Amino acid sequence: MRQPDSPETRSSPGLPQTAEPADRPSLWHSGLGSIRGRMRAAIVVFALIMLLISLTAQWHVDQSADTGALAPNDRLELRQILFKIGSDLWSAETSLQGYLLNPGAEGRDATQAALTEIQKDIDALSAINWTEATSRRERTLTEMREELDSLQQQITKVMAIRVDASKLYPALSELIAQTLPLTMEFRDYSGQAMQDSLDHWELSGQPEIYRRFGEARYHWVVISGNFRAYIMAHLGILVGDTPSNLKQLRALISDSLNTVNVELVKLNELSRRGQLQLVQDDALVNMVRILRDWRQFFLHADSIYTARDWRSDVPLLRDEVGPRFHRLWRSTEMLQADLEQMSEHKADAMTSVSDRLSRIIWMITAAVIGLTLLGYGIFERAVRRPIRDVAQALKDESLGQGTSTLRKTDMVETRDLIEAFDYMRQQVASRQQRLESILHNAAEGILTFDDRGQIETSNPAAQRLFGWDTLPSSGLYIQEILAPRQEQDAEEYIFTLRQLQFDGLTGKTGEITAVHSKGWVFPLSIKISPVQLRDRRLYTALVEDISERRALMAHLRAAAEHDGLTGLHNRNYFTHELERVVERVNRSNQHCALLYIDLDNFKYINDTLGHAAGDRLLIETSEILGNRVRGGDLLCRLGGDEFTVLLYDTRPEEIQAITESFRSALAEHHFWYGAEQLDMSCSIGAAMIHAGTRTAEEVLSRADFACHMAKRQGRNCVHVFEDRDVANVAMISQDMGWSRRIRDAIENDRFVLVIQPIQETRHRSVTLHEVLVRIRDDVGGTIMPSGFLPVAERFGLAAEIDRWVIQHSIVALAAIRRHEPHWRFAINLSGASLGDKDLANMIRQKLEASDLEPSALTFEITETMAIADIDKAERLLSQIKEIGCATALDDFGSGMSSFAYLRDLPVDYVKIDGRFVSKMAHDPVDEAMVRAMNDIAHALGKQTVAEYVENEAILTKLVDLQVDFLQGYHIGRPVPLTVPKTPRHSNEPLQPRLH
């Protein structure tokens, strides 16, 4: 095995090897000639001393531990157990009090659990061996066990009494048994007397007798009610201050008894006069008896309930449960006092040990100080002085003053340090040469200058950049390379650079205009970085000529502002220029005009002859318009077949003729593409720009509206915006406001889904529902589709509404089908969705995410939409059917070529146009049309749905024609869709609920 290198043969990588002196002393060979060897020896000596001191301290600690009465872990465990006993006692008392206030299984179980924990705590105390006061501790624990057993028995009795009203209130049953029959007898006798009085009403005195018996009966009822409240107050049922309630009720009962007694006394006087009948005399005698007996029972009951032990659980709580809890608390506190006394004895022993350890620490301190002084002496002679000599040599080398002579040393580390210094000097010289080569060949210019801006050094690239042969002997300042009076002087970077505030520019790249030594100027990129050299702060600047980069940016900017096909300025440039024109007109009070040009037959040419022909048409149009505009006017292509012309300094009375000249220039041109010749025409809207114009958007909207009016006049026309058109522009602005409301409804879920049932004709069952959409307005009402869908189609928001409806319908139907697995939804798609290439993929993802079967959805498109773009319609319907969803053709029969396209469209359902269905009951022609559409659809294997079923007569005819499905107000009106939130019984039908 290879032995590790010894200090004598090891050296730093790349350093020259030195021969070992032959006369090196034997101390070197023993390993003490190196810092590491001597450090090892010092560590061994120090370790032996510390080991001896530690053994001595351990002996004293062991002696102290033997005098301890209890291990620290056991003492800590005892404190925890005693604390837990106190906590469990508190829990038991609290739980018992809660049970007494509100009896229940929870309070009972909590009390029993706390008592069980106390028993476990006492057992845990017994398991720990105490070395002091053993007999007293055992006696205390035995007493605690006995007290706990007795306490459990008494608490069990109390709990049993608390839940049994007859045991808790022993006088209650007797009181009720005695007073209730008397109450009923009194009411019966008084009723008999009053009835007898009615029977003899014509006799003298009977009205008064009837009134006296009635008053006695009424006050007896009051006594009964107050007596029941009196009992409830004793039971704690009444809310409020119980003593106050009892005192008040007792007074009320007493007053009522006295009132009844007064009435009976007056009746007795009437009896002595002979005015009472036989039944009335008998009733009076019994009522007097009942009053006397009832008063005695009440006084007896009141004496019972006012007694100290009127509840049977009170003596147990006072004499048995409470004292036992108190004795357990006292025993626990006594054990805690014993434990604290033991801890004090242990503390005294530890104090003695700490005194002895203090003396040992002073011995350690003395040893450490001695060894430190010895180590410092060795460090000073063998380490610090040689390192100081090497540091001075490094300083001399950095100042170019040559290397000081280094004294010889027998320390391996110091010798290695000297050799490393020699090697470093060689490497520094080599790196300096490489750095100079890099600076000399760098492609970027590099300047070094001081905090005054005076340039000290420059590389060849910088000299070539500025045309310098060498730097002037008088010095050149950074400010002198800046071109005078730059337009960018107002910019922060140029200003800071001229003010010599270089620290504010560090790390930032700026662009300035620099001056060449021969006088010309050029754009320059500059980036400044600080360099700190001792007490001097220098700066380096990377400089680069960016002329080519700026030229490229100018080219890209021009490309961004021009149309790639026609070379005209594009919409972006036009928008900014229009804003500038509006601002300029408002300042100078000039008149300008905007022409909005839209080609009339561009879509036809583009669709019939192809996109190449359309591009050629746009190029020729731009050339014709370009030849017509003045040199100072601006011609732009907004996009598609829309162009604009900004006319500067134009009088209002000339705008009509100018606009007409542009129209005629295009109308007189014949477009040739191959052998095809086509006429060109356009619709032009014009709007004046004057001092009252507020914004560029206002001008563009007016010109756009004027172009729209020109198209309404029959195309190939012009229209100049006039004051009477303001109202119509306001209507367009209202549409734009609607577009914002629609976007808000999409983003904030303000749409509301409603569903209309579609009934199967054969079984008259409803499992399919058409999903419709509404908007919830700010006051809680709903806006019908006719109020916002036309605006959504004009502003390109219809496809986003379709996506919102699809996503929310899938989520709702997935939740509904958990209760009604046969439910299905039919969702309408707008014409904008036909061109949505990602729609089918979105539907598939949402179905997978909600775990909804694709067959539960049917997607409808109108016949007009399908015929307008048959290719896109076929593609989208095919993609939907591939997912597994059904498809339907809505409003079938509204187009003249309905039957021709029906064969090729991949649809499962055909919805017959409601215009025919609604009149078929009294119009034979409409009935024949419905019959023909139904028969042809069935012949092609498609099912039919009749819309606008408004009455029973229409329904009967549709059933006779064997139409498959029915939809209309007679079947069911649209209602808001509500998703069920709670499980229902399996045989309970799901019905849409109104909000």
User: Distance between CA atoms of 847 and 394, rounded to whole angstroms?
Assistant: 77
Gyration radius of the chain's alpha carbons: 55
Q: Are 703 and 686 in contact (CB under 8 A)?
A: yes
User: Distance between CA atoms of 742 and 749, rounded to whole angstroms?
Assistant: 10
φ/ψ of residue 584, rounded to 5: -65, -40
* Residue (of 544, 559, 568) closest to 622 by Cα position: 568
Is 641 catalytic? The answer is yes
Q: Exactly one of 598, 641, 891, 913 is catalytic; which is it?
A: 641
Count CA atoms closer than 13 A to 82's CA, side-chain side.
21
Residues in the chain: 995
H or E element in which residue 658 lies = helix 655-667
Place of tokens 């010309």: 520
134-162 and 72-101 helices, crossing angle to 10°: 20
Q: Are strands 718-720 and 634-639 parallel, antiparallel or unpaired?
A: unpaired
Tell me, rounded to whole angstroms, the distance of Cα 538 from its chain centroid.
52
* Residue (of 151, 152, 143) closest to 125 by Cα position: 143
Tell me, rounded to whole angstroms, the distance of Cα 460 from its chain centroid.
59
What residues have CB less than 8 Å from 966, skipping those under 6 apart?
A: 758, 759, 761, 945, 946, 949, 955, 958
Question: For residue 581, what are the CA distances in angstroms to 27, 142, 722?
Answer: 98, 106, 20
What residues have CB less than 8 Å from 495, skipping those under 6 apart?
A: 489
Tell me, rounded to whole angstroms, the distance of Cα 386 from its chain centroid.
67
H or E element in which residue 473 lies = none
Q: Are strands 751-760 and 592-599 parallel, antiparallel or unpaired?
A: unpaired
Computed from CA positions of residues 810, 812, 817, 822, in that sequence, does the dihedral angle turn out positive or negative? negative
Tell me which amino acid residue 267 is.
L
φ/ψ of residue 517, rounded to 5: -65, -20
3-state secondary structure of 767: strand
φ/ψ of residue 891, rounded to 5: 55, 40
Catalytic residue set = 641
